[in-house]
Amino acid sequence: MSEVQDLTAAVTGLRQVATELRDRSEVQDQVLRRIENLAKGQEVIAAYGRKNRLGIQIGSIGLTIALFAAGLSIYQSARLNETTHQLSAVQSRTSTEVLCPLYQLFALSLTVNPAPSNYTAEQLELREKYKLAINDGLAKLDCPPLSK
């Protein structure tokens, strides 16, 4: 009987080992499934990472273009201001060096030369209208007073 007991004990031991191996196998299968799930998650994360890098590159290019456009706009604005100041100086010089003497000459001519006696009332009225326009032009141009 001892042999039977030994065999029974051995079979029982083998069953326990087989059960333990089966349990370990199930645990290993669970671990492998988790690893596979993590690997799939990493693939998804890698795909998002690639998309994010592409978005960052496109954003960087867009920002570079926007900064270039802003710089160009500032440069053009500065050039426009410079041109405006130059134009203003030319207009000021034109009014003081050209228009003022011309208007002064017209005003002096109207003051020194009286209207001819053969002018009609309409012609006299027109002469007075032009005299007022010339004097108004002198005032608007801020010309110095007439010197006779």
pLDDT digits over 95-121, tens only? 778 888 888 888 888 888 888 889 899
Residue 10 to residue 67: CA distance in whole angstroms: 83
Is 100:72 a contact under the CB 8 Å cutoff?
no
pLDDT, tens only, 3-43: 878 788 888 888 898 898 888 888 888 988 888 888 887 88
Return the number of other C-beta atoms located less than 10 Å from residue 5's C-beta.
9
